[in-house]
Structure 1
Amino acid sequence: MILASASPIGLLLGMAAALAYAIPALAAQTLGTVSARRVLLLAWGLHGLLLASSMLSEVPRFGFAPALSITVWLVLTAYVVESQLYPKLRARWALAGFGALAIVLALLFPGTPLPATSSPWLPLHWALGIAAYGMFAAAVAHGWLMTRAEAQMRHAAPGSDGGVPLLTLERLMFRFVGAGFVLLTLTLLAGALFGETLYGSSHTQWRWDHKRIFTTLSWLVFAALLLGRWLWGWRGRRAVRVLYVGAGLLLLGYVGSRFVLEVLLGRTT
């Protein structure tokens, strides 16, 4: 879904970013809050440079691992912004670990070359899909933070009073869900209405393949979540569980399908 490159510059940036992510992931307590935040910010910047260099490469590529890489970067972007507004937001070690893993996967599985016959609008279509992935991934991260904070409060765990309030986490989670739902809707509409323009004459009709089935199911789950929030006030663990189901289906929609094709079956289409 994104552009990837095996160039020497891309390899060096990838290794540097993965190493920078690994430091706060493995030694967050030793570094301390300020130092861990600075190293994570450095890793995020290197990760962004890696993605930018990949997009400007001569041979555009796409695949499940690059899609995961940019999704994690988008989540970290949201975290970098939010950490300025909510300094007590605690997720550095987990996000750093996911960042390192995503980059390593992207280096090992850079995806397949983008066909030269593809529409120039195809990158925009993919950008919408990737942005939807990022918004829902950010919502999942906030749902996890909310569940953890709730458990700490229930068991009176040390430090449970110093984090971001539950209502704030819940509000942020639903904002990301709403944004992701809009982007996912636009992605599905573009694929349904302009499939031939985007992918060629082989996509003149809607085909119920694994990607579309799982993506449509995830859209229905997210629609139910937003409707349940609006009509019946869904919140807390119920809302998080529904969010996890929708995110799991969405992950299977593209990343899961491409993983099976590229890694397990060794195919490109």
Structure 2
Amino acid sequence: MEIVIALCSALLYFAALMQIIPGLSGPNQIPVHRVGMFAVGAMVLHSGLLAELILSGTGQNLSMLNVSSLVSLIISGTTTALMYRLRVWVLLPVMYSFSAINLGLATLVPGGFITHLETHPQQLVHISLALFAYAVLIIATLYAIQLAWLDQQLKKKNKLVMNPNLPPLMAVERQLFSIILIGQLLLTLTLASGFVFVQDMLATGKSHKTILSAMAWAVYGVLLWGHFRSGWRGKKVIWFSITGALLLTLAYFGSRFVREVIIAA
């Protein structure tokens, strides 16, 4: 039954994606409400199945694939909400594809990392902040990549940039820094809540997460300072965004990958 639900969710993500692609390659208007209908259906099935995967049995199963699937769901939900106000069409096919793949892997390759957040509700606050901070900053990274692509198309004088479904370059840049600022605030709250609610943040087994997260926080801080103080733009912004995202990915999933994939194999 779980496989059937995952397959139905993937098909709905694919249906939403197929509504978007023709509009990216031509002047056709993308049917916003149809995309939303398919995407919401996919995410409802995704969230229901993911809740079953995480909450089945005693405690909460926060395996690497379950958490990755949860992050992709948060990002897909956020970008889908944004599409009603912003032209984020380039991002949505990427996120819908990742969501479908992540849910499929979480369903087909079950892992086990049982926690008991009901006995430590304060940790739930920390984990929630961490997940939302990571999701927002990954969206910022996708925005940075979109910014680089649009800039390249403009330099090549490609007619594709005249597509009404694609956002203006300057609008993408403004949105990018707004998203990074929100992500940086969430990451600051994540680190602060970790030191308040989580014991031994710098103990063996946890220190690498704290150090890598702090390094990512510093990278995003320098990027924001450079932009607002010195007007940083272009490739520097893109590389800083990607570097920060890589550091956070290593912090959140590095040890899980070693423990659940390499050692388990």
TM-score (norm 2): 0.83
Relative to structure 1, the CA distance from residue 171 to residue 211 in structure 2 (aligned partners, 3 Å threshold; closer, same or farther) is: same
Relative to structure 1, the CA distance from residue 251 to residue 88 in structure 2 (aligned partners, 3 Å threshold; closer, same or farther) is: closer
Distance in 1 of aligned mates of 2:236 and 2:248? 19
Shift of 1:12: 4.2
Distance in 1 of aligned mates of 2:189 and 2:65? 23
Shift of 1:90: 2.8
Partner letter of residue 170 of structure 2?
A: L
Shift of 1:132: 0.4
Give the equivalent residue in structure 1 for 2:8: 16
Distance in 1 of aligned mates of 2:221 and 2:38? 38
Partner letter of residue 179 of structure 1?
A: I
| 2:255 counterpart (251, 254, 257) | 257
Give the equivalent residue in structure 2 for 1:160: 161
- 1:50-89 equivalent positions in 2, closer than 5 A: 50-54=49-53, 57-59=56-58, 60-87=60-87, 89=89
Relative to structure 1, the CA distance from residue 117 to residue 24 in structure 2 (aligned partners, 3 Å threshold; closer, same or farther) is: closer
| 1:238 counterpart (221, 236, 239) | 236
Is 2:196 the partner of 1:193?
A: yes
**Sequence identity of aligned pairs in percent?**
25
Q: CA offsets per residue over residues 23-63 of structure 1, 9 Å max, x none?
A: 45578647984355543343233223334455654531102
Distance in 2 of aligned mates of 1:87 and 1:223? 27
Shift of 1:94: 1.7
Partner letter of residue 194 of structure 1?
A: F
Give the equivalent residue in structure 1 for 2:92: 92
Relative to structure 1, the CA distance from residue 111 to residue 14 in structure 2 (aligned partners, 3 Å threshold; closer, same or farther) is: farther
Relative to structure 1, the CA distance from residue 12 to residue 110 in structure 2 (aligned partners, 3 Å threshold; closer, same or farther) is: farther
1:170–1:236 contact (8 Å) kept in structure 2:
no
Worse-superposed segment, 59-68 or 27-36? 27-36
Give the equivalent residue in structure 1 for 2:226: 228
Is 2:173 the partner of 1:170?
A: yes
Relative to structure 1, the CA distance from residue 224 to residue 157 in structure 2 (aligned partners, 3 Å threshold; closer, same or farther) is: same
Distance in 2 of aligned mates of 1:251 and 1:226? 20
Q: How many residues align?
A: 253
Partner letter of residue 195 of structure 2?
A: A
TM-score (norm 1): 0.82
Shift of 1:123: 1.5
Distance in 2 of aligned mates of 1:114 and 1:167? 44
2:79–2:88 contact (8 Å) kept in structure 1:
no
- 1:84-123 equivalent positions in 2, closer than 5 A: 84-87=84-87, 89-107=89-107, 108-115=109-116, 118-123=119-124
2:126–2:197 contact (8 Å) kept in structure 1:
no
Give the equivalent residue in structure 2 for 1:44: 43
Q: CA offsets per residue over residues 50-84 of structure 1, 9 Å max, x none?
A: 34455654531102222221222222222212211
Is 2:211 the partner of 1:210?
A: no
Distance in 1 of aligned mates of 2:85 and 2:95? 18
1:67–1:255 contact (8 Å) kept in structure 2:
no
Relative to structure 1, the CA distance from residue 249 to residue 205 in structure 2 (aligned partners, 3 Å threshold; closer, same or farther) is: closer
Shift of 1:237: 2.2
Q: Tell me, what secondary structure is at the counterpart of 2:159?
A: coil
Partner letter of residue 167 of structure 1?
A: M
- 1:125-164 equivalent positions in 2, closer than 5 A: 125-162=126-163, 163-164=166-167
Worse-superposed segment, 102-111 or 209-218? 102-111
Partner letter of residue 169 of structure 2?
A: L
Partner letter of residue 211 of structure 1?
A: K
2:226–2:232 contact (8 Å) kept in structure 1:
yes
Shift of 1:124: 1.5
